[in-house]
Amino acid sequence: MIVRTLENCKNSSRHVVTETWESTRMLLSDDQMGFSFHITTIYAGTETPIWYKNHLESVYCISGEGEVETLDDGKVYQLKPGTLYILDKNDRHLLRGKTDITFACVFNPPLNGREVHDEDGAYQLNEAPLEKENA
């Protein structure tokens, strides 16, 4: 059994911060579960272009408000607590925070831990895993 707390993961190398978001990666590829699990915050007033061409993602809104726009068709979906959106077709999208938004996210294949978006808004598959730690 694996047991971790959000607080312990936030105080470790599992916590990644960028200009528009931060993500605490609580379950990663080296845990060998076939998916990764993250608590991610999108900052208020930001817009983040994303295209997970190498991953599928499921995103559940815990708190906050914003919107996600799918770029191929221009559809805009409102995000609020209780909303789930699923990027089942490697959808190119824009994520906008009206307020800080906290999400629970699941990735398949799982992330290794330190990934940040590349110039296309994607995570690469060949990132080196984090070194094992107690988090």
Mean of all residue pLDDT scores within the chain: 91
Whether the per-residue pLDDT at 130 is higher than 60: the answer is no
Q: Whole-prediction pTM value?
A: 0.88
Q: How far apart are CA 106 and CA 31, in angstroms?
A: 14
pLDDT of 72-109, one tens digit each?
999 999 999 999 999 999 999 999 999 999 999 999 99
Whether the per-residue pLDDT at 131 is higher than 70: the answer is no
* Closest listed residue to residue 95, CA positions, set 7, 21, 37, 10: 21
Q: How far apart are CA 71 and CA 91, in angstroms?
A: 8
115: confidence class by pLDDT, cuts 50, 70, 90: confident
Whether the per-residue pLDDT at 63 is higher than 70: the answer is yes
Whether the per-residue pLDDT at 2 is higher than 60: the answer is yes
pLDDT for the residue numbered 47: 97
Q: How far apart are CA 19 and CA 22, in angstroms?
A: 8
| Percentage with pLDDT > 70 across the chain | 93
Domain ranges of the chain: 6-108
- Statement: 6-108 belongs to CATH 3.20.20.70: no
How would DSSP label each residue in the chain? -----HHHHHTSTTEEE-SSEEEEEEE-GGG-SSSEEEEEEEPTT-EEEEE-TT-EEEEEEEE--EEEEETTT--EEEE-TT-EEEETT--EEEEEESS-EEEEEEEESPP-S-----TTS---S-PPPPPP---
| Percentage with pLDDT > 90 across the chain | 78
